[in-house]
Chain A
């Protein structure tokens, strides 16, 4: 294995035969239906039944289509149990259709609950002992055309709060349009998208809308969100990757308000077509960088993806520098979801990226018409009736994926074809999880109007690793927001437990660290959302450690 690992697609072999279906909206959008119905293939990983094996939930989007909850049977196969636990039949014209889901233990009972977000009614499902899921949650909005949501404990009260990001405006019913003037008012300066919801968890399943009270008034077209402590304050900040505009970075001011610092920190200066928000420590120096994907189409539009690296470490406001081009992770086609993870266990975090917008006619492209309408004034671009018909043409379709290996010295190399990531589906969500408890990160890819793929990861022998499964006590039980720094061989790699990351995706909550040939590590420092810090000296490698807040190990 030249690069220290190889990927083997094995979904069907493992019992996973899911194919995503797209919705069908108002007939007045028929001419551009593939564009307006271009999302909804999502994947979220969690051990919902607490059997020690990672399961995953995948969303479908066709009216009447069924979502799947694949239970990991521990023998290398998966079984869809969505119908039996009450999570399958959730895509209806009346309620809207799924755009994604995110796991989080909102009531701290030890069982991962599920928030389903739709172009429609968001719904919270309470996990009843891993046996069934029942609708729960009071105070959730009635209708949000959302493409992103995440759990975070913004005020560090030990309960997970919810952030829900609208894409289309809330008042738009895509199945029954009152007007065709629903499109973005600009290709890169649109501010007429969906509103955001920051919902404070008051306990007992009651959520309170505190969005505007805490200073979040965005109406941008958000496609991805992630929450993490990006300024070393101990409080989770919010990064919004927005389509048709600049990114937003809401700095958390001690849980009392949020302030958009995107422009002054650099991440929100250049408007692009943001579609992903993931976090990685690319230099092994404890700094979390933000990876945001955009559009790159040779000869037409080369936005380039962004890798926002903090200029300084430690507490206090930091500026970010876009190092995507310098490090070779800028050109990824029409990029969607991307995740950081050490795929070959060499001790550095790599990037797995999926791409491809609409794969239709192989020899016909919609790009010319798309570029023509994209430059139009708001009075033109904002009206779907003005958009040229797609007529079965592709738009950045059939693209090859990227698996960028990090050399740890500031450079990434694409090895996708060499290691076996050879599909050309229209990728949307990608999630990383150790599905076989093998000490390697497997890859789950959700494709729009395409099959769900599982790339089993076979890592070369002799490469060590360590994993941490965190459980909060004073902190939220899912430990979302906990930061773990692993020190070894003069390296320090930081990771943070997140809910949503990437695009419409959620990785396993277990934190995975490749260690290369290191058989020992110096120490591990855990900073819990509660503020408590714990140090673990010389933990055993090649093992998953369950770390519970307060008891040290």
Chain B
């Protein structure tokens, strides 16, 4: 286990995508060099295990899902789209871990009385990875892209998870702790931590500007939507810049833009902020890399 932890942490310090980290964008090229030994867990499976645990725990405890069917549809749609597009694009079957996370995230985050949004969110999330590329890299976190697109284009029928899962402190603490351990293990904890600190700092500004109680300003981050956002979206190795310092700067800017959007009473501010800032950062890095190569 210790070896696995070091394996995750070291590349992060060097500013590289941690080997074996599934994130949302793992491809077949990133299959870990070292297969897990007995009684160890491949880093690639940690995020899927975490998000599955969150879903199972929340649903068994509080019944967050109206039915398993819609979440299953999201997962199947994401994996199916990934397999088909991966096969067509690269001529080989991609590993489904990344698509699984996209699918399950969409299944949790999207709220609609209809079935089609669950399919469509997953579909366009995965599709964005293959279609919206610059110099061979995709620039949006797939689920962020899919969710942002859906709430923007179909507001009458689609919303995003915006409630607590129960009231007990313990389950929430466990999810935060478990999530923190896993992002630390895969070398992305600095991103999550920086964002959380920035969110709290900017919440003071929002509270001062609007006159709303500070606890109301920080209330959103206590919800499960932010747990997914902080542990799975902003840490996605394929859609974050490479340097550790750059990653921190980017999420501070994300939090800042989110603050501006919240002041404008834009409800899905974190998704839109990441959509804009994350992709801009990626484009800047890709262009700089291209210039360096020239």
Contacts and interface: CB of A to CB of B under 8 A. Distances in A.
Interface in B157-215: 157-159, 162-167, 169, 172, 210-213, 215
A247 B158 CA distance: 23
A302 B111 contact: yes
Given A269-B66, A270-B63, A330-B113, A299 B167 contact: no
A5 interface: no
A78 B286 CA distance: 77
Interface in A353-381: 365, 367-369, 371-378, 380-381
A267 B151 CA distance: 27
> Interface on chain A toward B: helix, strand, loop, or mixed SS?
loop
Interface string A286-325: 0000000000101111111000000000000000001011
B220 A372 contact: yes
A282 interface: no
Contacts of A269: 63, 66-67
Nearest to A377: B222
Interface string A315-355: 00000001011000011000000000000000000000000
Interface string A263-275: 1000001110000
A188 B65 CA distance: 12
Interface stretch (A52-60, A385-393, A414-422): A385-393
A388 B157 contact: no
Given A263-B63, A388-B212, A375 B220 contact: yes
Given A371-B267, A375-B223, A377-B219, A189 B165 contact: yes
A367 B162 CA distance: 12
B48 to A, nearest CB: 25
A119 B246 CA distance: 57
Given A186-B167, A324-B113, A375-B223, A388 B216 contact: yes
B222 A246 contact: no
Contacts of A153: none
A197 interface: no
B251 interface: no
Contacts of B211: 389
B90 interface: no
B162 A386 contact: no
Contact of B223 (A298, A303, A376): A376
B213 A371 contact: no
A388 B207 CA distance: 10
B26 to A, nearest CB: 30
A521 to B, nearest CB: 37
A304 B155 CA distance: 13
A386 B267 contact: no
A487 interface: no
A258 interface: no
**Centre residue among B163, B169, B212 by max chain A CB count within 10 A:** B163
Contacts of B159: 299-302
B33 interface: no
B113 A325 contact: yes
A324 B112 CA distance: 12
A385 B63 CA distance: 29
Contacts of B65: 270
A111 interface: no
Contacts of A374: 162-163
A299 B216 CA distance: 20
A378 B213 contact: no
A187 interface: yes
A246 B63 contact: yes
Interface residues of A, number: 45
A185 B165 CA distance: 11
A365 B265 CA distance: 10
A121 B215 CA distance: 35
A375 B164 contact: yes
**Centre residue among A304, A325, A375 by max chain B CB count within 10 A:** A375
B45 interface: no
B163 A187 contact: yes
Contacts of A191: 167
B167 A185 contact: yes
A179 B41 CA distance: 50
Given A302-B158, A368-B267, A371-B162, A378 B219 contact: no
B156 interface: yes
Interface in B123-164: 151, 155-159, 162-164
Contact of B167 (A189, A246, A375): A189
B152 to A, nearest CB: 9
Given A376-B164, A377-B167, A271 B63 contact: yes
A186 B163 CA distance: 8
Contacts of A298: 155-157
A378 B164 contact: yes
A188 B163 contact: yes
A375 B162 contact: yes
Given A186-B163, A298-B155, A385 B66 contact: no
A375 B228 CA distance: 14
Contact of B155 (A190, A299, A375): A299
Contact of B267 (A296, A300, A377, A387): A300
A424 B85 CA distance: 49
A368 B216 CA distance: 11
A304 B213 CA distance: 30
16 contacts: A189-B62, A269-B63, A270-B63, A270-B66, A301-B162, A302-B112, A373-B216, A374-B162, A375-B162, A375-B163, A375-B219, A376-B222, A385-B213, A386-B215, A388-B212, A388-B213
Interface of A: 185-191, 246, 263, 269-271, 296, 298-304, 322, 324-325, 330-331, 365, 367-369, 371-378, 380-381, 383, 385-389
Which 8 pairs across A and B sit closest by C-beta, in order of nearness? A376-B219, A304-B113, A299-B155, A368-B265, A378-B167, A375-B223, A270-B66, A377-B222
Interface of B: 62-63, 65-67, 111-114, 151, 155-159, 162-167, 169, 172, 210-213, 215-220, 222-223, 225, 265-267
Given A331-B113, A368-B265, A377-B169, 20 more contacts: A186-B167, A187-B163, A188-B163, A189-B165, A189-B166, A190-B167, A269-B66, A270-B66, A299-B267, A300-B162, A302-B156, A304-B113, A331-B156, A372-B216, A372-B217, A374-B163, A375-B220, A376-B222, A377-B222, A378-B164
